[in-house]
Amino acid sequence: MENKDVDTSRWLSERLSRLQPDGDWRPDVMLGLAQFREGRRLHRIGMRRKIGIAVVFAVIILAVLVFPTTRSLAARYASACASLFSGLSNTGTNPAYSNLDYRKPAPAFDLVGTGGQHVTLADLRGKVVLLTFWTPNCNVCDIEMSWFKEFEQKYGTDRLVFLNHRIAQGADSVVDLFGGLDAIPTTLLIDKSGRIAVTHGGFCSWAEFDMGIRALLNES
């Protein structure tokens, strides 16, 4: 065993001793320096590229946080993504849209409409009502109410009525009429018979609202 190890060591030493450069070989200093400089240049380019990408992302994030328009656009993209994932994960129909047992009669409210006139629940029979509760300085409220105005124009005021109630500080008789709110904004979809079909608390996607409105409008 020991002789075998000695022979192996001797063979390895002989092989290593032969690994010598040719007699006429000389180091190419200029080539090595050029390769070193090229490596440094490529490294600097890569670093500048990474810094540039980081700066662009930082500017985008600041723009989204600072400017209302970009916040609204970002919210729309987020809403579209949420709607897409929701559609992929749940293709069934919301029972509240199709099963009347899920619906409860809306309280007999008296609100001021968009034209400044008083509107009661009885006045709106035969129409789908989109009623939202909001507060000032609520970006989500502003985004959703812009959608609701578009819905009203899209489907017509003779079929869809959009009402909004600004929540008062302290006691609010309208909020109490609906049993209080768990989130701001809170939006109700009321069917043609005056029953609450769906209650959306907090931010909801444009597609979800549109699906519910169309489902209620198509009811006889």
Buried b (16+ CB within 10 A) or exposed e, 184-196: ebbbbbbbbebeb
Please identify, in words, the CATH class of the domain defined by 95-217: alpha beta
Global pTM exceeds 0.85: no
Q: Residue 80: pLDDT above 60?
A: no
The whole-number pLDDT of residue 67 equals: 56
- Give dist(CA 189, CA 97) in Å, integer: 10
Once rounded to an integer, what is the mean pLDDT over residues 3-30? 66
Once rounded to an integer, what is the mean pLDDT over residues 123-145? 92
Question: pLDDT band for position 112 (50/70/90)?
Answer: confident
SS3 state at 151: helix
Which sequence spans correspond to the domains of the chain?
A: 30-89, 95-217
Residue range 45-70, pLDDT digits in tens: 778 877 877 877 777 777 656 555 55
Q: What percent of the chain has pLDDT over 90?
A: 30
Q: Residue 169: pLDDT above 70?
A: yes
Q: Which helix (H) or strand (E) holds 130?
A: strand 128-134
